[in-house]
């Protein structure tokens, strides 16, 4: 089941690296305090499962072995009727939130061609396979390119207001409602990385597109705590998050979770409906956040506003104004 789950999340042509037991068991079974028979059987099972999954073994050296997932649908030598493991009945392999794992092999995306994936950073703006094959409803190549252009303009405007974005001050960044990852693509720099969060209640499941662009991401329900340490992120971007969750959970709960994962002197950029942003600004004062509207930010309008926030560095009853 473990290897089948690896197969599900691994892109065609991707690699699986196994380091440690049982690889090179002949030389290490004494140190591992296991029998030769046990380790040999374990590696034989891994080799057999890899064959059923149509993985090609690329290399084995010392305690490291590397397999590669097949590149296309026709590169498997194991016929389906000869495979004792059944294919998964679930039609949508992306539909995995709160789902139980099954002992089955996912169908290979017939229209997917790994050769078409551009090297990074070209992959950031190339048309992802899920869009090229119309996997995401109501999202065409044209609308995808428009989204890229839109967020380039937004991020350029953000940088005019917050001069620290390109300075290296913000290393760990989160986009709370990432969409197809265009904010992360527009802000991309060797000085930083972005965790792209796709809310589980979003109308479109876009996390696969985020990964096809060479970015990293995760599903999350913002009515729950985010699985990370306090003070993890330097900058948080929240686009339409509060409007999305207005009928699901309390605004203050989401704000307090943002405060928990934001480091002192970290920043938040909130883009949302004007009524939401006005309420957030009032709450931000009680949280000892410094906040301000910028009326001339690209994309802001009478119905949409952008709020820039800096979390202050304070302890107990005292406080120290954050650097701007």
Domain match, 150 and 294 both: yes
- The pLDDT of 185-201, averaged and rounded, is 95
Share of the chain above pLDDT 90, in %: 64
**Between 86 and 193, whose confidence is greater?**
193
Mean pLDDT for all residues in the chain: 88
User: pLDDT per residue over 277-311, tens digit each?
Assistant: 999 999 998 898 999 887 767 767 778 899 999 99
Looking at the fold, whether 137 and 201 belong to one and the same domain comes out as: yes
User: Are 13 and 104 in a shared domain?
Assistant: yes
Mark which of 114, 134, 162 sits at the end of a domain: 114
Query: Token pair of 123, please?
Result: 């992959």
pTM, 2 dp: 0.86
Shared domain for 37 and 134, answered yes or no, is: no
Q: Are residues 71 and 17 in the same domain?
A: yes
174 and 253 share one domain: yes
What is the tally of structural domains in the chain? 2
Same domain assignment for residues 159 and 222 = yes
- Domain enclosing residue 243, as ranges: 122-320
Asked if residue 296 and residue 255 are part of one domain, the reply reads: yes
Domain co-membership, 105 together with 126: no
């Amino acid at each position: 089941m473990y290897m089948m789950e690896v197969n599900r999340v691994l892109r065609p042509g991707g690699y699986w690296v196994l380091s440690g037991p049982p690889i090179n068991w002949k030389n290490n079974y004494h140190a591992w305090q296991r029998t030769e028979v046990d380790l040999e059987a374990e590696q034989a099972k891994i080799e057999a499962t890899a064959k059923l999954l149509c993985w090609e073994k690329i290399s084995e050296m010392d305690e490291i072995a590397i397999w590669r997932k097949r590149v296309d649908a026709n590169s498997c030598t194991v016929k389906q009727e000869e495979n004792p493991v059944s294919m998964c009945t679930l039609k949508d392999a992306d539909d995995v939130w709160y789902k139980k794992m099954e002992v089955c092999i996912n169908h290979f995306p017939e229209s997917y061609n790994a050769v078409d994936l551009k090297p990074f950073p070209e992959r950031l703006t190339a048309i992802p396979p899920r869009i090229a094959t119309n996997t995401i409803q109501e999202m065409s190549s044209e609308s995808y390119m428009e989204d890229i252009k839109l967020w380039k303009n937004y991020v350029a405007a953000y940088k005019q207001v917050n001069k620290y974005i390109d300075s290296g001050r913000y290393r760990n960044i989160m986009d709370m409602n990432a969409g197809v990852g265009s904010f992360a693509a527009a802000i991309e720099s060797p000085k930083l990385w972005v965790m792209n969060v796709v809310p589980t209640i979003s109308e479109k499941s876009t996390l696969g597109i985020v990964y096809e662009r060479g970015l990293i991401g995760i599903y999350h329900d913002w009515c729950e705590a985010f699985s990370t340490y306090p003070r993890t992120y330097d900058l948080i971007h929240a686009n339409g998050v509060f409007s999305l969750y207005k009928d699901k959970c309390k605004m203050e709960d989401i704000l307090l979770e943002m405060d928990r994962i934001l480091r002192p002197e970290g920043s938040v950029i909130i883009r949302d409906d004007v009524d939401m942003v006005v309420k957030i600004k009032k709450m931000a004062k009680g949280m000892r956040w410094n906040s301000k509207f910028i009326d001339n930010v690209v994309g802001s309008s009478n119905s949409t506003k952008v709020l820039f926030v800096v979390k202050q560095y304070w302890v107990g009853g005292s406080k120290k104004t954050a650097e701007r």
